[in-house]
Structure 1
């Protein structure tokens, strides 16, 4: 009878390590690994977008709190990243209960929320400055895309060609309109003397930011 050949050391190592590696991969959830430090503006923008949809009703706009059900998140240096992540994933029982989002959100979505809340918890001086847009609002290609969308949906009836001379307030040369206010107004509309319909259901957030990029561009232009 022919004797079996002795397995090579590499084969023996793979037979020993494979079950252990499989056990580790099954035991560790994907969200247990912390995301890389230094969130990008696009990640913060995505986190803000998700926060506005899931968290504002309890924590207030931009985590300002005040008379909301959940605690204030702004200017909270006592909130560590580990606690923020744990609360989002596991929720909280008892007073001011919070639902767990770990089984609803993907790891990347949790990372985005953590990044945004980390930014909120800093002091105003430390917080990321400027609008949390997913791209540079000075990008010529984005401005041009916004211009075309503005010409199709905004210019004819209300705001006029190049944002001037319409029924609604002019945009050209206007310096008091911040990017955040423009985004909120386009998304949610406006009531009162200058009524404007909400476009949040018609346009994606990226498309609205492209409109904002164009409005910011118009604001930098001088009136003839």
Structure 2
């Protein structure tokens, strides 16, 4: 720092404070998603896009919304499916009865790894039980994620429908609400809702993590006094 009239620049302390403030602000970003949770969450999203029509919702082996057996085999509660077998089937597919396309020519290694992680979860889920619904890629109690959800909620959701901090809007209040599981909140935000309390679908406007940040904030509001 240059000296002024033989003295140290008097602006330096102020500049250091400002610089430190900007550095702290730059660091105040959402932490990375938990790697394992993020991989399984992304795998479910990919499964729901590519695989559910054959293997059924959550790998249950029935067509979505029906009790009819789907084209592909059940994946839920399959103790015989180890990682090597899952990987081989995803990459190379299967010929003959209940054929399956080879996804190794379409998906990169990261996407294949995501699918493997989710199918492993399905295979480890005991028969007769359902795997979890939509899967959060981070801890929903993370304060930084809650804060990000709060900002997005205030910008997108509060003004017209849900009110400031989820109270006093046209829609039901969120504060103190304990009947809204995270999976239901995610699905409602993603797909929207029809009927008396119509709500637009936000799945094409927000990323998976952005929706889960909103869910984290709603879960936080549910723990507050109404």
Establish whether TM, by shorter chain, passes 0.5.
yes
Residue 19 of structure 2 is matched in structure 1 by: none
Q: How many Å apart are 1:206 and its aligned residue? A: 1.1
Distance 1:204 1:108 in 2: 18
Deviates more, 1:195-204 or 1:67-76: 67-76
For the pair 1:43 / 2:39, whether they are aligned, the reply is: yes
Residue 148 of structure 1 is matched in structure 2 by: 151
Task: Mark the CA change 1:172 to 1:166 in structure 2 (over 3 Å): closer, same or farther.
Answer: same
Structure 2: give runs of 5+ residues left out of the alignment: 1-34, 63-67
2:109 counterpart (107, 110, 130): 107
Structure 1: give runs of 5+ residues left out of the alignment: 1-38
Residue 59 of structure 2 is matched in structure 1 by: 63
Contact kept in structure 2, 1:119 and 1:127, CA below 8 Å: no
Superposition RMSD on alpha carbons, in Å? 2.2
Q: How many Å apart are 1:151 and its aligned residue? A: 0.9
Distance 1:187 1:108 in 2: 24
Q: Under a length normalisation based on structure 2, what TM-score does the superposition of the two structures give? A: 0.75
Q: Deviations over 1:31-57 (max 9, x none)?
A: xxxxxxxx8112111211211221122
For the pair 1:170 / 2:173, whether they are aligned, the reply is: yes
Q: How many Å apart are 1:127 and its aligned residue? A: 9.2
Deviates more, 1:82-91 or 1:121-130: 121-130
**SS of alignment partner, residue 105 of structure 2:** coil
Q: How many Å apart are 1:59 and its aligned residue? A: 1.5
Contact kept in structure 2, 1:158 and 1:166, CA below 8 Å: yes
Instruction: Please identify the structure whose Cα radius of gyration is greater.
Output: 1
Total equivalences in the alignment: 185
1:120 counterpart (122, 129, 135): 122
Matches within 5 A, 1:194-213: 194-213=197-216
Distance 1:128 1:202 in 2: 27
Residue 137 of structure 1 is matched in structure 2 by: 140
Q: Under a length normalisation based on structure 1, what TM-score does the superposition of the two structures give? A: 0.76
Task: Mark the CA change 1:201 to 1:82 in structure 2 (over 3 Å): closer, same or farther.
Answer: same
For the pair 1:216 / 2:183, whether they are aligned, the reply is: no
Task: Mark the CA change 1:190 to 1:215 in structure 2 (over 3 Å): closer, same or farther.
Answer: same
Contact kept in structure 1, 2:186 and 2:215, CA below 8 Å: yes
**SS of alignment partner, residue 40 of structure 1:** helix
